[in-house]
Amino acid sequence: MGPIFTTQVTKIKNNKKFETDDTVIREIKLDININGKRIVSLMATPTDLKELSIGYLISENIIEKVSDITQFEITDIDTKIYKADIKATINEASSDKLNTEGVIVSGCGRGASTHISLKSIEAKVMQDDFYIDANLLFKEMGEFYTQCPLYEQTGCVHTAKIHIDDSIYFIGEDIAQHNTIDKAVGKALLAGHSVNRAFLMVSGRLSSEMVAKAVMHQIPILASRTASTCRGVNIAAKFGLTLIGFVRGQSMNIYRNPERIHVES
């Protein structure tokens, strides 16, 4: 099943009222099962579901790396429900923390995501010599929205782009902001690329769950055209993440760890 479908709408334009076709995005529930046990359900756009599953499991510290997975199968139960059956070596403690009866909604993450605490994030502090030129980030952000086909077709999805180098990048698109990061990272990892010397761009606000995703994936730079929350800034400060908002034209606000962004003199 494709990620979009066509429906009829009543449109008003230039003082005229008429019927026309419109393109809208699909939304499905993805049940993720590991070793015969349901771990979590995600509301998502039905694209890149394998990548989403892997990215999510790594970001939640349930699996450490792609090679921990020995078997993976996606099943289309019906038009609204998909199932990922996975066999893998897992971190049992992290798995037990998830509410197995919960559904992570498409808006902003599960209910607890708005209360992410610094103590609850089990990640390494990033210490590296990675940096990029400010002009590269301006250029990539300027091109970002031209590389997102579902957004172009529907205007109803969030997007994330992880930039590996000048010729390699991966895009994630989904109705849920946090899913976009997991999809983009999942694609990169499945293609054999490390993300700890890359930078990540997202379309929406830099809320705590978005910043925590970048930290868990050990991505050193996270940027957006919009703003960060206070909690997002605090997470970036603790874990050494370069957090950047309002990347527009030739301007940006670097909230924390600016040393990774160089400016030509």
Active site residues: 108
User: Quick check: 253 and 244 in contact, CB under 8 A?
Assistant: yes
The crossing angle, in degrees rounded to 10, of helices 49-59 and 177-190 is 100
Cα-based torsion angle of the residue sequence 195, 264, 249, 178 in order, rounded to the nearest 10 degrees:
20
Specify the 3-state DSSP secondary structure of 131: coil
Query: Beta strands 28-34 and 37-44: pairing type?
Result: antiparallel
Element (H or E) spanning 93, and its range? Answer: helix 92-97
User: Quick check: 69 and 87 in contact, CB under 8 A?
Assistant: yes
Q: Label residue 251 left, alpha or beta by phi (over 0 means left) and psi (-120 to 50 means alpha).
A: beta
CA distances from 194 to 75, 147, 188, 191, 239 (A): 28, 22, 7, 9, 19
